[in-house]
Amino acid sequence: QANLNTSEIGKKIIHFQSIDSTNTYAKEIAEKMPSGTIIVSEEQLGGKGRMGKDWTSPKGEGIWMSVILKPHIPPEEGSKLTQIAAAAVCEGIRSITGLNALIKWPNDVVVGGRKVCGILTEMVAEINQIHYLIVGPGINVNNSRFDESLSNIATSLYLEKGEKIHRKKLLCEIINKFDQLYNDFITEGTLKKSIDICRMNSALIGREIIIHQGGKKIKAKALDITEDGLLEVIYEDGSKSKIISGEVSIRGK
């Protein structure tokens, strides 16, 4: 914790050698833990990805972490925390490694078109009140290989940079950024700083994309990310819309 300089996020860090899933564990203890508590593990035996997928989390190779947050915001705004986390991870990677990390809205960070980080955000809420959110980034840092089925879509910072990355330095940088951006959001009530980062480092803006919606694939072009963190797109018929969240892929890739 030596290099941390935060007001809320990372004040308490729980470090495991091995765990099933940091998100699952975070949910179990969230009620009794202060907002900002971080769970981080050297390996996960049952790492979870989005949409019920598994997340490979080999020992000592990545940053497998979950942050417990208790912001006083309406549940509809919960996904904003994912944007804040993506901005923090992207900036952290850029400053520690110099790699051209880009954000693939809404929750991936890519380098050279392949994924280095995914974020699984889970929320427990009532109609108008969030009990807690678990924001769980998984970052492929020093992985030296991926299963054949993943090698086209996933990569690690080590594979892109050609040298091993100091995981603790990167973790501290990300936590510091996350804390700054989170505080900005809480005190100013706007996502402005995070969205500026998401826009400046967007893997989607200006590109032809495919929006995967309820089994359908719709062609569009990504135009912008709004102040609220929505993806603004234009369809082939010229109509525009703002997408709240979902799966997007880049056409031709």
Nearer to ligand BTN, 17 or 239 (CB): 17
Stretch that binds ligand BTN, among 4-12, 48-56, 72-80, 214-222 (CB under 6 A): 48-56
Distance, in Å, from the CA atom of 168 to the CA atom of 145, rounded to the nearest integer, reads 21
Please give the structure tokens belonging to residue 6: 């935060």
Q: Is residue 25 close enough to count as binding ligand BTN by CB under 6 A?
A: no
Which of 10, 36, 47, 78 touches ligand BTN by CB under 6 A? 47
Query: Contacts with ligand BTN in 110-129 (CB under 6 A)?
Result: 118-120
Q: Is residue 156 close enough to count as binding ligand BTN by CB under 6 A?
A: no
Buried b (16+ CB within 10 A) or exposed e, 156-166: bbbbbbeeebe
From the CB of residue 232, how many other CB atoms can be counted at a distance below 10 Å?
Answer: 16
Q: Is residue 58 close enough to count as binding ligand BTN by CB under 6 A?
A: no
Which residue carries 């819309």 as its tokens?
A: 241
Q: Is residue 65 close enough to count as binding ligand BTN by CB under 6 A?
A: yes
Nearer to ligand BTN, 27 or 94 (CB): 27
Please give the structure tokens belonging to residue 230: 């929505």
Work out whether strand 108-111 and strand 114-126 pair parallel, antiparallel, or are unpaired.
antiparallel
Please give the structure tokens belonging to residue 4: 């941390």
C-beta separation of 18 from 189 below 8 A = no
Q: Is residue 106 close enough to count as binding ligand BTN by CB under 6 A?
A: no
* Min separation Cβ 223 and ligand BTN, Å: 24
DSSP conformational letter for 30: G
* Min separation Cβ 50 and ligand BTN, Å: 4
What residues form the annotated binding site for biotin? 21-23, 44, 115
Residue numbers at the binding site for ligand BTN (CB under 6 A)? 21-23, 44, 47-50, 53, 55, 57, 64-66, 108, 118-120, 136, 138
